[in-house]
Structure 1
């Protein structure tokens, strides 16, 4: 548990209460701090896996915690974006698609683990995660209001969110198809 990649993964989980607290606030500066915290947490998502593979320290606990850390962080930020009204209208559907897929794939992985069948993360799923992180980061930045009026963060966030939702459906279908073969 004390390897650097595992500590980075754990830091993402520990960042979630801070993100929620900052996004609960009404201050532009709280939202800017939330964006910075989210960006740092998002960067750790790349480096934990990279470092684990590079140094040969891939561990069972890391493989278990990494997707959980991703899902907790993404779910918390989506809920807080809806709560704050940054994500509203039809765009909430994109957020729901992402949340429902994550729950479904987690349940499927848990079931398949009892059969000792692993479902490795596909390249497309990694792109999905990248689009999610960019989308949610841009939307958190949009929550700063008029702090950065020249940045099209809301537009970038919504476009990337819908792209992430589309990739979410595609990768979710792929995982479901593979999982159904073992049921």
Structure 2
């Protein structure tokens, strides 16, 4: 069912290779600027696909399936690229900050697997408010880290990105544990 919300979700998935290309491997400030604009557009479509689907009563199984996948594909791809991408000779996410990125990546994989397992048991795990805060910090972190490459004269932008990345990683551990506790109740 190709409704406008589902097309917006698909556009987010199709935008990921462009984000990756723009961040490959030593982008200029202009590449970072384009990446930031595209990243913001993708974020806006994430909001509007859900809003439009609910407002118009066009929530579909395809949308329910694709929306979290689109989010995870984008977040994982951007984190990997920011670890891989060098800005003035240094990876954007470097040193011990890589741990925060890995925590987020591992949680995304684990929660996806857990949700798939629980779906087979017909157990739904709703997204908590804390998980929404985690997502907010995660998206702000990645946006700030991208924007920091476009604005090297303002190193504090990159620092804000790293602080938000660690905040997201901590919230990731908490919400991941919450999901795991629910999941364990349904395991033999």
TM bucket (normalised to shorter chain) is over 0.9
Question: What is the CA-CA distance between 1:145 and the residue it aligns to?
Answer: 5.2
Residue in structure 2 matched with residue 131 of structure 1 by the alignment: 137
| Distance in 2, Cα, partners of 1:13 & 1:120 | 23
| Distance in 2, Cα, partners of 1:128 & 1:52 | 23
Question: What is the CA-CA distance between 1:119 and the residue it aligns to?
Answer: 1.4
Assess if the C-alpha contact under 8 Å between 2:101 and 2:165 holds in 1: yes
Q: Once superposed, which parts of structure 1, at least 4 consecutive aligned residues long, lie more than 3 Å away?
A: none
| Distance in 2, Cα, partners of 1:151 & 1:55 | 43
Aligned residue pairs total 181
Q: Show structure 1 runs of 5+ residues with no match.
A: none
Q: Of residues 91, 103, 106 in structure 2, which corresponds to 1:97?
A: 103
Q: Of residues 145, 149, 156 in structure 2, which corresponds to 1:152?
A: 156
Question: Structure 1 residue 64 and structure 2 residue 96: aligned?
Answer: no
TM-score, normalised with respect to structure 2: 0.92
Q: What RMSD, in angstroms, separates the aligned Cα atoms of the two structures?
A: 1.2
| Distance in 1, Cα, partners of 2:175 & 2:73 | 19
TM-score, normalised with respect to structure 1: 0.94
Q: Show structure 2 runs of 5+ residues with no match.
A: 86-90
